[in-house]
């Protein structure tokens, strides 16, 4: 957040994080704001409560904004009203403050995009109407704008028209994707919004029914054929989408990229589509990276439609990935910027900043701890576990267990085993680890919904034996 020169920020923190917070803010050098830090009187900053803040913070505050830890659980609006100053949550980790404070006036807005996602149900003909409806609603919730009904060769689809009408009744946009003219006509007659994929030889079907066609070359790779289909659509004065067709790697991929570039050069104002499945489905690589690259290409070429598909289990979140990618690319393009620092949804296996604490930070923190509760953190040298009695570090969780003295406490041993295994996975992958929090897998896994107005339950390491027994 770029600050007004006269803005004064007040940071609330706890005993253990204060020195680290002071160092991070001081290291910013000259800033467009002034600041002060108040230790609210708790050991762990995230454990401060609304009641503690209300009781210990004395008005007037003399600040324009109060920054709370990102893991603070409480009602910000009530605090803002009570003190007459805006309270906001900062990042979860102190190390991320520079980025938080460097943003231009407001959080990144990912609510906008300029790309329509067609999500193909490849086996639509094999599904019952109920199963088809459930699949379509799930895809829509994931971010799909159009449900594409795939028709398999030599596979009857007697309920195609009913499927189109049923999906339309649910308020969904529908496309029919078939090489069979009878199926395309059945879908068009039932009210399909789009027909895939028509050529210069079959475009008459779309003209007859007033359905938007997605046009491809009649001869694979022939842009002149695509051009004739485009001319026919323009002559009929109907809307259309042109798809030069993206081919798989080693089967024309590089040439097909060239076709997209040439198509945009020839037809600078024509609406276009790219089918990404030939890359995401047919390449043994995590699909998020492939998706980011292809949506970046679409962003540069102003390609406003993508056809996505999930057949292989490794593309199970492809709609979510395309949805996040289109938003990130739009935001970056609006800023005339690289697509970095906007959102971590496509960083699923590795994180750009996996270690919020340096080795020195952890050593200093461990030296200040006096109680028996175990803290677990990761740093470049491995997984650290420490309390008031010991401090160990290793790259293998099993190496740490003998020094924990929890052999006779099954619940605690189980908890520490689970947390240390999670920390080891994070350390080996270069992911960020936070004790008692799930690892963040971006859009590769559903995000756990958190209520940040309430305190999270204490992890087992912070519970007393009485709490665990009850």
Q: What is the pLDDT of residues 51-64, one digit of tens each?
A: 999 999 988 998 99
Q: What pLDDT does residue 165 have?
A: 98
The tens digit of pLDDT for each residue in 381-397 reads 999 999 999 999 999 99
Average pLDDT, the chain: 91
pLDDT band of residue 107 (cuts 50, 70, 90) is low
Nearest residue to 438 (alpha-carbon basis) of 92, 47, 89: 92
DSSP 307: E
Q: Span 119-148, mean pLDDT? A: 97
Q: Is the Cα torsion angle 59, 64, 68, 73 positive or negative in sign?
A: positive
**Residue 107: how many other CB atoms lie within 10 Å:** 9
Residue range(s) in the chain whose domain bears CATH number 3.40.50 = 7-102
Predicted pLDDT at 378: 97
Please tell me the distance from the alpha carbon of residue 286 to that of residue 425, in angstroms, as a whole number: 18
**How much is the pLDDT for 251?**
97
Would you say residue 463 has pLDDT above 50?
no
pLDDT of residue 101: 85
Q: Above 50 in pLDDT, residue 470?
A: no
Residue 454 — pLDDT band, cuts 50, 70, 90? low
Outline which parts of the chain fall under CATH 3.20.20.20: 116-334
Assign domain 7-102 to its CATH architecture. 3-Layer(aba) Sandwich (3.40)
Residue (of 394, 407, 396, 416) closest to 463 by Cα position: 416
Tallying the residues shown for the chain, one arrives at 470
Name the band, by pLDDT with cuts 50, 70 and 90, for residue 338.
confident
Q: Per the structure block, which two tokens stand in for 196?
A: 């895939």
pLDDT at position 168 over 50: yes
Residue 367 above 50 pLDDT?
A: yes
- Give the integer Cα–Cα distance in Å for 148 and 440: 31
Residue 106 pLDDT greater than 70, yes or no: no
> In terms of pLDDT, which residue wins out, 237 or 62?
237
Average of per-residue pLDDT across 294-310? 98
The rounded distance, in Å, linking the Cα atoms of 118 and 318 is 11
Coil, strand or helix at 71? coil
Q: Which residue has the tokens 């605090």?
A: 79
* Average confidence (pLDDT) over 233-255: 98
Q: How confident is the model at residue 131 (pLDDT cuts 50, 70, 90)?
A: very high
| CATH of the domain spanning 116-334 | 3.20.20.20
CB proximity list for 2: less than 8 A, separation 6 or greater: 32, 102, 103, 104, 105
Average pLDDT, integer, range 236-248: 98
pLDDT in tens, 185-195: 999 999 999 99
pLDDT at 373 over 50: yes
Cis amide linkage into residue 231, ω under 30° from 0: no
Share of the chain above pLDDT 90, in %: 77
Q: In terms of Cα–Cα distance, which of 233, 234, 269, 229 is closest to 245?
A: 229
Output the pLDDT for position 44. Answer: 82
| Res. 279: pLDDT tops 60 | yes
On the question of pLDDT at 108 being above 80, the answer is no
pLDDT tier for residue 30 given thresholds of 50, 70 and 90: confident
Task: Give the residue-averaged pLDDT of 111-119.
Answer: 97
pLDDT of 427 over the 50 cut? yes
> Averaged over 110-133, what is the pLDDT?
96
Residue-level pLDDT at 5: 53
> What average pLDDT does this structure show over 313-324?
97
Q: Check pLDDT > 60 for residue 4.
A: no
Instruction: Name which of 100, 37, 44 is nearest 66 in CA terms.
Output: 37
308 to 275, 318, 341: CA distances (angstroms)? 6, 7, 25
Across 338-353, average pLDDT: 89
Contact 376, 384 (CB under 8 A): yes
Give the pLDDT confidence score for residue 96 in this predicted structure.
81
Based on its alpha-carbon atoms, the radius of gyration of the chain, rounded to whole angstroms, reads 28
Checking if the pLDDT of 133 tops 90, the result is yes
What DSSP assignment string belongs to 3-34? PPTTEEEEEEE-HHHHHHHHHHHHTT-S-SEE
β-pair type (382-386, 391-394): antiparallel
Sign of the torsion formed by the C-alpha atoms of 141, 144, 146 and 148: negative
Closest C-alpha among 132, 166, 168 to residue 151: 132
> Once rounded to an integer, what is the mean pLDDT over residues 337-365?
90
> What percentage of the chain carries pLDDT values higher than 70?
93
Give the pLDDT of residue 18.
86
């Amino acid at each position: 957040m770029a600050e007004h020169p006269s803005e004064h920020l007040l940071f609330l923190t706890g005993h253990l994080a204060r020195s680290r917070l002071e160092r991070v803010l001081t290291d910013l050098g000259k800033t467009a704001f002034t600041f002060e830090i108040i230790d609210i009187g708790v050991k762990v900053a995230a454990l401060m409560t609304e009641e503690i803040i209300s009781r210990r913070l004395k008005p007037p505050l003399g600040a324009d904004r109060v920054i709370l830890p990102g893991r603070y659980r409480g009602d910000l609006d009530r605090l803002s009203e009570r003190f007459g100053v805006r309270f906001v949550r900062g990042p979860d980790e102190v190390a991320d403050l520079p980025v938080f404070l460097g943003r231009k006036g407001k959080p990144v807005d990912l609510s906008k995009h300029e790309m329509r996602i067609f999500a193909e149900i490849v086996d639509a003909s094999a599904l019952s109407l109920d199963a088809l409806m459930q699949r379509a609603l799930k895809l829509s919730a994931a971010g799909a704008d159009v449900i594409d009904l795939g028709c398999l060769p030599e596979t009857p689809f007697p309920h195609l028209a009913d499927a189109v009408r049923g999906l339309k009744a649910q308020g969904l946009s529908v496309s029919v994707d078939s090489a069979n003219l009878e199926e395309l006509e059945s879908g068009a007659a039932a009210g399909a919004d789009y027909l895939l994929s028509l050529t210069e030889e079959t475009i008459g079907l779309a003209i007859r029914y007033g359905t938007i066609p997605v046009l491809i070359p009649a001869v694979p790779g022939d842009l002149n054929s695509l051009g004739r289909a485009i001319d026919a659509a323009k002559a009929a004065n109907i809307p259309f989408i042109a798809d030069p067709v993206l081919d798989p790697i080693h089967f024309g991929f590089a040439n097909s990229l060239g076709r997209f570039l040439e198509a945009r050069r020839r037809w600078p104002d024509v609406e276009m589509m790219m089918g990404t499945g030939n890359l995401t489905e047919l390449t043994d690589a995590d699909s998020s990276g492939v998706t980011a690259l292809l949506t970046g290409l679409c962003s540069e070429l102003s390609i406003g439609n993508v056809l996505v598909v999930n057949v292989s289990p490794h593309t199970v979140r492809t709609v979510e990935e395309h949805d996040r990618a289109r938003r990130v690319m739009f935001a970056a393009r609006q800023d005339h910027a690289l697509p970095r620092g906007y959102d971590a949804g496509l960083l699923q296996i590795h994180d750009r900043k996996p270690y919020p604490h340096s080795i020195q930070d952890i050593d200093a923190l461990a030296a200040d701890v006096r109680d028996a509760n175990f803290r677990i953190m990761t740093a470049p040298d491995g997984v650290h576990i420490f309390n008031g009695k010991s401090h160990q570090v290793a790259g293998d969780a099993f190496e740490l267990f003998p020094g924990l003295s929890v052999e006779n406490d099954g619940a605690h041993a189980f908890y520490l085993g689970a947390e240390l295994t999670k920390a080891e996975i994070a350390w080996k992958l270069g992911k960020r680890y936070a004790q008692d929090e799930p690892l963040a897998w971006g859009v590769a896994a559903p995000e756990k919904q958190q209520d940040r107005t309430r305190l999270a339950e204490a992890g087992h390491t912070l519970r007393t034996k009485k709490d665990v027994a009850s």
